[in-house]
């Protein structure tokens, strides 16, 4: 059994860790509220924009926006992995990285490159795979304009023919304890031009359907990427809050066990001292 000093040191160490994890939990809980409100507020807008674009595309005869919807033979694939810049959030980053590697296996025989958003994904994927670009700094100032610039870069890579397909991988926010891994096709827009479930609406178009579609498609792509990053951002804080809550609970349990061990060891030491005193007294009597 460890001596009393060692046990006291361990109790102090665990107590300090518990204070840190508890503080991180509270910080993440505060940030989660703001991030959750942001993604909840923009989802209806993103869904309505997609619906409007599908309604317009279903009524078009020509090739408006064809550069965004062209289905080419898949030779080169770009996978956009959205992770976080910081750790201590459970399996949040690991799940995205694992799914990204699975996509590389899925496209075996084709060139698969990665575009990382988040330092944790870049640190891992850059060691074993081809990472063409990393945009971790977007989390320093997460605004639509900054994300729109990244979306334009990705769109240009597809339109220019540099890549035949672009996919997004991120954690979709459900609640603080649950994040769902999403694999979304970013380009080409396969479902925009032909969706049998879309019932065309009776709109009055001005200036024209074609011009409106050409305006909406780039905007829709920017919204899709912004929504994915916002989802990931909210999921990160939810995952970190949950992980720190579990860590605090574990530290509390460990501290209680150490205190019990300490009390037992202290009681044993006191008992031994009493026995020694009694034994010494009896020896003097003899």
**Token reading at 207:** 């200036």
The whole-model pTM stands at 0.85
33-62 pLDDT tens trace: 999 999 999 988 988 887 777 666 666 555
pLDDT value, residue 284: 84
Q: Which residues are catalytic?
A: 89
Alpha carbon 16 to its chain centroid, in Å, reads 28
- Confidence label for 189 from pLDDT (cuts 50, 70 and 90): confident
Give CA 171 to chain center in angstroms. Answer: 5
| Strand pairing category for 131-134 and 111-117 | parallel
Average pLDDT across the chain, whole number: 89
Instruction: Name the residue with higher pLDDT: 97 or 177.
Output: 97
What local confidence, expressed as pLDDT, does residue 202 receive?
64
Tell me if 176 sits within 8 A of 89, measured CB to CB.
Answer: no
List the domains of the chain with CATH numbers.
57-239 (3.40.1380.10)
pLDDT digits (tens, 9 = 90+) for 210-269: 788 888 889 999 999 999 999 999 999 999 999 999 999 999 999 999 999 999 989 988
* pLDDT value for 281: 83
pLDDT at 1 over 70: no
Percent of the chain with pLDDT over 70: 90
């Amino acid at each position: 059994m460890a001596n009393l000093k060692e046990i006291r040191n361990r109790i102090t160490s665990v107590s300090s860790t518990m204070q840190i994890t508890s503080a991180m939990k509270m910080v993440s809980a505060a940030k989660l509220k703001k991030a959750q409100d942001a993604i909840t507020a923009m989802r209806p807008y993103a869904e309505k924009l997609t619906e409007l674009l599908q309604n317009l595309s279903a009524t078009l005869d020509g090739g408006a926006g064809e550069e965004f919807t062209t289905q080419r033979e898949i030779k080169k694939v770009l996978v956009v992995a959205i992770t976080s810049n910081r750790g201590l959030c459970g399996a949040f980053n690991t799940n995205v990285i694992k799914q990204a590697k699975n996509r590389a296996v899925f496209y075996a025989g084709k060139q698969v490159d990665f575009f990382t958003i988040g330092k944790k994904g870049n640190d891992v994927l850059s060691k074993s795979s081809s990472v063409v670009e990393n945009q971790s700094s977007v989390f320093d100032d997460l605004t639509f304009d900054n994300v729109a610039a990244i979306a334009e870069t990705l769109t240009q890579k597809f339109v220019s023919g540099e890549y035949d397909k672009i996919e997004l991988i991120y954690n979709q926010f459900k609640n603080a304890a649950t994040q769902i891994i999403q694999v979304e096709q970013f380009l080409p827009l396969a479902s925009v031009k032909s969706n049998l479930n879309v019932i065309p609406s009776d709109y009055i178009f001005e200036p024209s359907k074609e011009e409106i579609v050409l305006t909406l498609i780039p905007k829709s792509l920017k919204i899709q990427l912004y929504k994915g990053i916002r989802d990931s951002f909210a999921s990160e804080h939810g995952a970190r809050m949950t992980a720190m809550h579990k860590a605090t609970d574990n530290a509390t349990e460990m501290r209680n066990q150490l205190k019990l061990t300490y009390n037992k060891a202290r009681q044993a030491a006191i008992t031994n001292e009493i026995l020694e005193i009694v034994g010494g007294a009896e020896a003097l009597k003899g």
